[in-house]
Amino acid sequence: SEIDLMMRIGFHERLVNMLACVTVNEPILLICEYCENGDLLEFMRQRRAFMIDRPDENDESEIITGKKQLMFATQIAYGLEYFSSKGFIHRDIAARNIMVDSQESCKIGDFGLARSIGEDNETYQAQGGKLPLKWMSPEAIYNYSFSTATDVWSFGILLYEIVTLGGTPYAGWPAVELLTRLKRGERMDRPDNCSDNLYDVMLKCWSEKPSERPTSTELRKELGNILEDINQDYYLKLNAQAQYYILESNTYKSC
């Protein structure tokens, strides 16, 4: 159960932690940390709307800067590093499952699809069902095989969401063509406001061979280095007509 899993994971500042649970009587209750700013996807989309509607306003509480985007990514990488070090895979790393607390810091949440694979980093073989197709790696889509490397692939999609302030991954790609195009080596283009070095991180996460993807520790270090190299924060220039701002209604699809 999710309660048992969260007890085994333990506490980390970059996870939504369990505070208490009730299991002796129905209903079973799970009490977790409250993150007053909700999920990261909606948090970014609300601020994106403000930034597009009022491009000349620089209210720090209503905008997201380039440096803040990197802070989000680095915080999540810390959480993923801890999560994988405990022998778990999340299987649903995405902006909708990242929570934002009162300090606008990010925490990984929603462990409903998480599984234990042990400290030897084995793979988990799923049996199909409704899964987040556009956040999944080719091996996860093709044969339902999940590992820490599939979480890293999903993290690359999450980076794309962060850079686009909640944009839709693979906008314009028909779902039926997704796996074929990925197997051909096609990847999403570099979005607006994305530096070359950050896009390189995305591409590494999307390496076809799982063994060639960075570990969560390597991601945390590389993103931390990029963050440290920013001498001056910068504001984002948003194109309201960008194709990745077209919303998709159905995230989870049957595999």
Q: Which residues are catalytic?
A: 92
Place of tokens 């601020």: 47
Quick count: other Cβ atoms within 10 Å of Cβ 28?
12
Quick count: other Cβ atoms within 10 Å of Cβ 201?
22
How would you label 215-249 residue by residue, b for 16+ Cβ within 10 Å and e otherwise? Answer: bbeebbebbeebeeeeeeeeebebeeeeebbeeee
Dig out the tokens for 47 from the structure: 């601020």
Dig out the tokens for 58 from the structure: 């620089």
Measured CA to CA, the distance from residue 105 to residue 86 in angstroms comes to 22
